[in-house]
Structure 1
Amino acid sequence: MGSGFPIPIGGRISPIRLIALLVLNLQLIVCCGPAEYLNDGECCSMCSPGTIVFRHCTTDFGTTCKPCTDGEYIEHPNGLEKCLKCKVCDQELGLQAKHVCTYTRNTICGPREGYYCIDKTCQMGRKHKTCPPGEGVKEKGTQFEDTVCEGCPEGTYSNNDSSTHTCEKWTVCEEIKQKQVTLGTARTDTVCEEEKSRTVVIIAAVIVPVLLIIAGPVLLYLCKKKGKQSKSIDIKHRRAEMGQSPQSADQPLMEKTGCSREKTENSNKDQTTGSSVQIVTADAACYTK
């Protein structure tokens, strides 16, 4: 066997010789260090992470390495001739890349936003459950846990289908100075409305008297002024109709009594002389106020 320890035929090997034989054979089989790999009986140095063997070592030359290319990786020291392919996170399976692949590290997948992993290795993601109206989120979903829902307790409500919203408290109408119309339910909020009647009465009681105090004298003054203007315009129209020249409205209007301003000629004969005498008389222009 080439061990240097002859084995007697038909005899038994002593324990000491057996141990020595095993140690010698072990040295022949396992001769490479922790950073080496065995190739054709030679212990070659391993390539560093991110690289692989381009040419194995020989008696005269050491190991030649080359880097991995895009989409490949090697995480540990190695004596491999091919890099490993990077993992692809399939969005159709609810996954996305949590850590992008590099030459020295594989892709790490995680669940998409709103999804959670169904196992520890996250080979597939599932969408978080949503809580329907009347229920709220008790515990939000995580990367490895689904959403936990609960029914809205008395005094709270939820009116949407959500995986993030909790139950909200009913509105208290008194706190916003309104009156309650409809009490809330597990799905709806309390309905409130403003109390308008009392407000309107108070405003009217204050504003209307103020407006009357301010507007009364102004309206009275405008009415008087309008009456004077109407009277003045009426006098001027009457003067124009009677043929009189326009005068100040302050002067009295003279009305005709039927007398004419026209002069008349009367031919009379002097009784004593018998001659004809022309007498011109003018009718008095008679006017009365």
Structure 2
Amino acid sequence: MVWQKLALAVCLLAVWTVGHARDCGDGQIEISGQCCNTCPPGTYMEKFCSDRLQSVCSPCPTGHFSDQHHTFDRCEPCRVCQQENSEKCTATTDATCSCRSGFLCSDSICSSCEEDKCVTGEERKRIDVPSGAGLMKYSYQCEPLCSEHAYFDTRDNTCKPRIECSAYGLAERFPGNKTHNSVCDKPDMRRDDGSTSSVILGVGFVSLSVVLLLFLSYTCVKNQRKHTENRSPVRAASTNHSEFHLSKEESGLHLISQAESKDSNSLDQVHLEQVTSC
């Protein structure tokens, strides 16, 4: 009997709900027995409907939004981002946050950021922790990309085994790390007792001395040639009489002397001919 009464009550409630739902149209809701219009996205309900007036909706103020039909008397405040906005807040959509390079989102909506502490050669592992209201908190751990005896080659973007210097009978200069291979000490690079350094210094000193000697010799020869060239014109001037130029008076006297000499020679020739004829 009790179950029959309960079933009848459920049926009456369903019929009543369907009847009221049919009375209100799309975008309306029943409030106090009356179908009231809901406010569309980007607005809020400033005044509720009454017997004589329908609902009054107003635009969301700056910094607020509503993304669905509702009957609330206010809009939701926009999300505040700690670093950057991927998408800015509008009247109908909330802001979307992001972090700058080198930082990571600390939750599913990226409301705050934390520094990325992982370096090259490490991979980032994210751990999700539920925190209620559909929000997911994030935490991060850095783990090596390669095994203990390998390194991450950034050029080939892959893990490679590190060289074991002892396997080749060589000393190890650098043990290698997460991103660099080991460096072995070659036999010709090992330290000696100082004899090599002494030989290098001796050869260098001898070479420097030879260069200095050649330079001094060249300088002396060059100066000697200059001195010789400066004295040569004086000797030529003192020995070559044909290059002297006489003045006009001296040239005249020289010509007269030559003429008198010719006349004297002519007279001597005539006198000699007369004596011969006698």
Q: Which has the higher helix share?
A: 2
The TM tier, using the shorter chain, reads 0.3 to 0.5
TM-score, normalisation: structure 2? 0.46
